[in-house]
Amino acid sequence: MLTRVGVPIEVRPADVDETPLPGEEPRAYVSRIARLKASSVARAPGQWVLAADTTVTIDGVILAKAEDEAEATAMLARLAGRTHACATAYALVGDTGLQEGIAVTEVDFVPMSASEIAGYVASGEWRGKAGAYAIQGIAAAFVRAVRGSVTNVIGLPLAEVLALLVAAGAPGPRYDAGQAV
């Protein structure tokens, strides 16, 4: 998403333990993980590191990435026909220190039959996705409504992150006649 709007990036995976702490609230969890990711990536003076973490929550329970098909099936069955929240925390580290934010979006799922859930799980699209679904893919068929940033549900609240980059003096978007350059 960032490259589409002209923000130059270099991807450097962060190796951090993403296990929620006992009793950790969802927003505190994603904020902690985003900060951990940002601080774990080495940077030279003048460089910026942007990290983010997304989770799905329902009934106060964190639905991170499903480990297997059974867990993905259980997560989707829990989300079916209900409203859940996607929370993405983002952290920017530069020479001026740490700046961070969080975006929360509500997503309404349509009711889903066991065969629909099984078919989606068989697609494998759920792998590596918080809440075991990808709104930008096949799972869009399960979404009745979104209140808030759809890019947040994809994994990066683009408008909020771009505003943070610009305010911090980090490389921001560049446009040419509506096209990123």
Q: Which residue has the tokens 């130059």?
A: 8
Half-sphere exposure in the Cβ direction for 82 (13 Å, CA): 13
Clarify whether 15 is annotated catalytic.
no
Cβ 87 vs Cβ 62: under 8 Å: no
Q: Which residue has the tokens 């065969």?
A: 115
Instruction: Give 78's contacts (C-beta < 8 A, 6+ positions apart).
Output: 58, 59, 63
For residue 149, give the amino acid letter. S
**Catalytic choice (53, 68, 108, 176):** 53
Q: What are the tokens at 54?
A: 């997304």
Catalytic residue positions, numbered? 53
